[in-house]
């Protein structure tokens, strides 16, 4: 069953959906008119689902070149009177922040929802960014999803609320919500029937200072009215006795594990009679009237929220303003890092309620500890046959050769990298990534280093990332005469997030043919004189070209071309084409282990009966993992010609 099929059962049907699929269904039920996004885990599947349904239900979808542009497309749809959605991962909100700061002043015509998928625990992101703060800063009401079941209804409601309130809305979800599943009851799908129309209102849509000053006052008034409205929305709800010793205010994704933890304690200690629950869905603006009544009904308050004390700080200020003597507890009991698990919250609630922790010294905890000890640690690595591995290996060889010739800088290459699969070049034995910050920063920081240090600079960036944020720093390198080498890893897809198209592919999100933008042509147009295209299977060519580029006086760009091996092999299998795999000829192998020690393809392994102290490395290739690139047979990896094509 495809992801699209999963969300298309009839109204009233109970189906099993991931949180992301449920959000997509919710937008369908609200009559979404436009969906524009840049792929980013953990948000990607929302748009992927809607892309497959766009033609059937008559709405527009696109994978945009970055989150800023995706937001501007959504803003245009909203101004045209359509209901619009843009989705992105938490750090993508940084890129989208400027248009939303401006549009926040203006308000919406058609409802506009920014889906922000934050990542407590850093499962797929380099920060635990908490974008509730962005919502408050940009005056965007935040609806926080508490469960997969709630995700569908809240997504649909978010578009409706946005129109009613006249303001863009953030729908905040998390990795745990988006990527786990639950049963969801489906509602009616509202087919998009609106026709976009632009109303010429320059005093409204042109954010000149004179207009902005007026609109800021209007914005503050809108937020004040929204703060009253959120007291009555059904997602802010209260459970438990009418008065209690403790009041737990539980925000967003913390709700599920918190209720499980209370259930565990309730079985033995009847905790539900001691605790009143406020399930909070709008961390900004807070439903202050409803919260005041709740706080009055309890003796003590604990805020249960993941990451930052966003709600806790607001409630502390509110309590101080109202003259409460009750302390608002939160991060004095609850961690500011990672996800809130049932086990962690059971321990927290046990301390708060002065009860024994059922997990402490229990057999379950001992079993969990023993399993954690025995499980091997396996870092994420580049796929077998990935062309990126060849590029990183070629960089290392080129560096050694240039250092030998004293042309590589006194301390060798500095190798800034970027956001994508190729960040995994950080892992040994390649260890070819020295810095990593954000999209486009590999080239950006290289242009800075070029003026401050003497090392040769070799940056790596992916094709999708180049279109997203790599072009401005290339132009900066040309303009400011930065002596750098940028290797653009062109595998013809957005691989890390699931093979979405980008401007270099030649097809749109819906599969329609479009212009395939040449990266080499773009780079030349930006003024780079040294531009070379090299196939990633051509190791000799890669090594020689990197050496030539590093020796060039001025910015140099290498476009390393080779399809994503996973996507490519899937296409071969669908076409019935045999994949040529490889093996190690034991008679020719000298057991030097160089292939595994310096290249490190995950399809290679060392025989278990060898000791770590042995100087001999009996390396073999697992044919079921080999993807048939054949690069490991290159003379710089195996000079004994022991790696051969496997005859099935």
Strand order across the 142-144 sheet: 60-63, 34-37, 84-89, 112-118, 169-174, 142-144
Q: How far from 67 is each of 46, 58, 88, 94, 211, CA to CA, in Å? A: 15, 23, 7, 9, 26
Q: Cα 126 from chain centroid?
A: 9
624 within some domain: yes
Query: 124: which residues sit within 8 A by CB, 6+ positions away?
Result: 41, 42, 89, 175
The domain total for the chain is 4
The whole-angstrom separation of Cα 16 and Cα 184 is 6
- State the virtual CA torsion across 46, 255, 309, 356 in degrees, nearest 10: -140
Cα–Cα distance measured from residue 362 to residue 104, given in angstroms and rounded to the nearest whole number = 52
CA distance 286 to 295: 13
In a domain, 381, yes or no: no
Same domain for 249 and 167: no
Tokens of 266: 């309730």
pLDDT at 230: 97
Q: Which positions ≥6 away from 1 have C-beta within 8 Å?
A: none
Query: C-alpha angle 294/298/302, rounded to 5°?
Result: 85
Among candidate residues 530, 546, 572, the one where a domain is terminated: 572
CA trace torsion 40, 41, 44, 45 (10° rounding): 180
Whole domain around residue 255: which residue ranges? 236-374
Q: Do 468 and 341 sit in the same domain of this protein? A: no
Is the same domain home to 116 and 137?
A: yes
Strand bridging mode 112-118 / 84-89: parallel
Q: Are 502 and 464 in contact (CB under 8 A)?
A: yes
Give the three-class secondary structure for 251: strand
Q: How far apart are CA 325 and CA 169, in angstroms?
A: 34
Q: Is residue 472 part of a domain?
A: yes
Clarify whether residues 254 and 197 are in a common domain.
no
**Exposed, middle or buried, 470 (CB in 10 Å: 0-12/13-18/19+)?**
buried
Q: Which two tokens stand for residue 393?
A: 């290996």
CA dist 179 and 15 (Å) reads 16
Which H/E stretch holds residue 364?
helix 363-374
Q: What is the CATH number of the domain that holds 84?
A: 3.40.50.970
- Report helix, strand or coil for 531: strand
CB-CB contact of 46 with 25 (8 Å): no
Q: Do 25 and 67 meet the contact criterion of CB atoms below 8 Å apart?
A: no
Q: Give me the residue label for tokens 């900066």.
A: 476
CB 340 within 8 A of CB 304: yes
Query: What CATH number corresponds to the domain at position 346?
Result: 3.40.50.920
Structure tokens at 104: 């926040």
Do both 366 and 438 map to the same domain? no
In terms of domains, do 226 and 240 share one?
no
Give residue for tokens 């080239």.
Answer: 443
List per-block mean pLDDT (blocks of 10 residues) for the chain, which spans 648 residues: 70 91 96 95 94 92 94 94 95 94 94 94 86 96 94 96 97 93 90 86 87 93 96 94 91 91 76 87 96 92 94 90 86 90 87 80 61 67 90 93 70 88 88 88 91 92 91 94 95 85 85 90 96 95 95 96 90 88 91 90 81 75 90 90 85
At residue 40, φ and ψ (nearest 5 deg) are -160, 120
Contact present, 554 and 514 (Cβ < 8 Å): no
Supply 59's token pair.
Answer: 């709405």
Q: How many CB atoms lie within 10 A of CB 343?
A: 18
pLDDT at 321: 85
Measured from the Cβ of residue 325, the count of other Cβ atoms closer than 10 Å reads 5
Q: 541, 580 in Cβ contact below 8 A?
A: no
Q: Is residue 382 part of a domain?
A: no
The residue from 510, 545, 572 where one domain ends is: 572
Helix (H) or strand (E) holding 372: helix 363-374
Signed CA dihedral, 89, 95, 97, 99: sign only: negative
Supply 56's token pair.
């059937």
Backbone φ, ψ for residue 493 (5° rounding): -170, 170
For 537, other C-beta atoms within 10 Å of its C-beta total 16
DSSP state for residue 595 in the 8-state scheme: I
Q: Is 91 left (phi over 0), alpha (psi -120 to 50) or beta?
A: alpha
Token pair of 627 as six digits? 């993807």
Kindly state whether residue 492 falls inside one of the protein's structural domains.
Answer: yes
User: Of 404, 580, 632, 387, which Cα lies nearest the Cα of 493?
Assistant: 387
Do the domain assignments include residue 259? yes
The alpha helices in 377-532, defined as continuous H runs, are 387-404, 441-449, 463-465, 471-479, 519-525
Q: What is the distance between the alpha carbons of residues 154 and 235, in angstroms, rounded to a whole number?
A: 8
Residue 601 lies in a domain: yes
Say whether both 421 and 562 belong to one domain. Answer: yes
Cβ count within 10 A of residue 198? 11
CA distance 540 to 635: 9
Residues 362 and 400 in one domain: no
Alpha carbon distance 569, 578 (integer Å): 9
| Long-range contacts from 572-578, C-beta under 8 angstroms, 24+ separation | 578/648
The whole-angstrom separation of Cα 522 and Cα 467 is 10
Instruction: Report d(CA 467, CA 521) in Å as an integer.
Output: 13
Structure tokens at 551: 């020796």
Say yes or no: 72 and 180 in one domain.
yes
Rounded to the nearest 10 degrees, what angle do helices 471-479 and 441-449 cross at? 20
182 beta partners: 17
583 in the same domain as 568: no
Nearest residue to 97 via CA among 143, 136, 62, 44: 136
**Whether 101 and 211 share a structural domain:** yes
Cβ-based neighbour number of residue 526 at 10 Å: 18
Q: Are residues 403 and 309 in the same domain?
A: no
Say which residues have a Cβ less than 8 Å from residue 566's Cβ, sequence separation at least 6.
Answer: 383, 495, 627
The H helix count followed by the E strand count for the chain is 24, 24
Tokens found for residue 584: 């190690």
Task: Identify whether 320 is part of a domain.
Answer: yes
d(CA 33, CA 54): 9
Q: How far is CA 130 from the centre of its chain?
A: 13
Domain boundary among 374, 406, 433: 374
């Amino acid at each position: 069953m495809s992801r699209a099929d999963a969300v298309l059962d009839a109204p009233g049907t109970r189906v099993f959906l991931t949180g992301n699929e449920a959000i997509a269904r919710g937008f369908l039920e609200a009559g979404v008119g436009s969906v524009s996004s840049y792929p980013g885990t953990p948000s990607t599947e929302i748009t992927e689902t809607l892309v497959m349904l766009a033609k059937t239900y008559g709405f527009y979808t696109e994978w945009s070149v970055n989150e800023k542009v995706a937001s501007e497309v959504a803003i245009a749809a909203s101004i045209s009177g359509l209901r619009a959605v843009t989705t992105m991962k938490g750090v993508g909100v940084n890129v989208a922040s400027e248009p939303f700061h401006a549009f926040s002043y203006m308000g919406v015509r058609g409802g506009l929802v920014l889906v922000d998928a934050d990542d407590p625990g850093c499962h797929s992101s380099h920060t635990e960014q908490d974008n509730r703060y962005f919502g408050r800063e940009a005056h965007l009401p935040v609806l926080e999803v508490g469960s997969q079941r709630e995700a569908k209804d809240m997504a649909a409601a978010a578009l409706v609320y946005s129109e009613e309130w006249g303001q863009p809305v953030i729908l905040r979800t998390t990795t745990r919500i988006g990527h786990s599943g639950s049963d969801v009851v489906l509602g009616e799908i509202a087919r998009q029937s609106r026709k976009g129309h632009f109303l010429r209102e320059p005093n409204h849509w042109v954010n000149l200072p004179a207009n902005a000053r007026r609109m800021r006052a209007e914005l503050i008034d809108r937020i004040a009215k929204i703060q009253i409205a959120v007291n009555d929305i059904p997602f802010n709800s209260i459970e438990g006795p009418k008065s209690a010793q403790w009041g737990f205010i539980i925000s967003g994704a913390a709700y599920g594990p918190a209720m499980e933890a209370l259930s565990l304690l309730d079985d033995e200690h009847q905790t539900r009679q001691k605790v009143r629950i406020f399930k909070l869905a709008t961390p900004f603006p807070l439903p202050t009237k409803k919260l005041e009544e709740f706080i009055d009904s309890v003796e003590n308050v604990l805020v249960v929220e993941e990451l930052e004390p966003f709600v806790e700080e607001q409630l502390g200020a509110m309590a101080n303003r109202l003259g409460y003597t009750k302390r608002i507890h939160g991060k004095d009991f609850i961690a500011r890092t990672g996800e809130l698990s049932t086990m962690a919250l059971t321990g927290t609630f046990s301390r708060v309620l002065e009860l024994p922790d059922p997990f402490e010294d229990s057999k379950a905890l001992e079993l969990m500890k023993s399993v954690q000890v025995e499980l091997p640690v396996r870092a994420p690595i580049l796929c077998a046959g990935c062309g990126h591995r060849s590029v990183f290996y070629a960089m290392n060889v080129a560096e050694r050769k240039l250092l030998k010739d004293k042309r590589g800088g006194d301390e060798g290459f500095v190798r800034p990298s970027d956001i994508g699969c190729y960040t995994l070049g950080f892992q040994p034995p390649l260890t070819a990534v020295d810095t990593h910050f954000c999209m486009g920063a590999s080239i950006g920081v290289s242009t800075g280093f070029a003026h401050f240090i003497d090392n040769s600079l070799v940056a790596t960036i992916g094709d999708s990332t180049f279109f997203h944020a790599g072009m401005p720093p290339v132009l900066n390198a040309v303009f400011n005469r930065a002596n750098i080498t940028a290797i653009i890893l062109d595998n013809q897809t957005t691989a890390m997030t699931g093979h979405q198209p980008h401007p270099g592919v030649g097809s749109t999100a819906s599969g329609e043919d479009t212009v395939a933008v040449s990266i080499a042509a773009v780079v030349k147009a930006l003024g780079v004189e040294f531009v070379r295209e090299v196939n990633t299977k051509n190791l000799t060519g890669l090594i020689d070209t990197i050496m030539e580029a590093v020796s060039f006086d001025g910015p140099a760009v290498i476009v390393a071309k080779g399809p994503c091996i996973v996507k490519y092999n899937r296409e071969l299998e669908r076409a019935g084409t045999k994949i040529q795999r490889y093996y190690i000829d034991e008679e020719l192998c000298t057991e030097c282990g160089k292939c595994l020690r310096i290249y490190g393809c995950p399809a290679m392994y060392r025989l278990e009966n060898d000791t770590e102290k042995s100087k001999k490395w009996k390396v073999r290739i697992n044919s079921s993992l080999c993807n048939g690139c054949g690069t490991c047979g290159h003379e710089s990896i195996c000079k004994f010609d022991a790696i051969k094509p496997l005859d099935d």
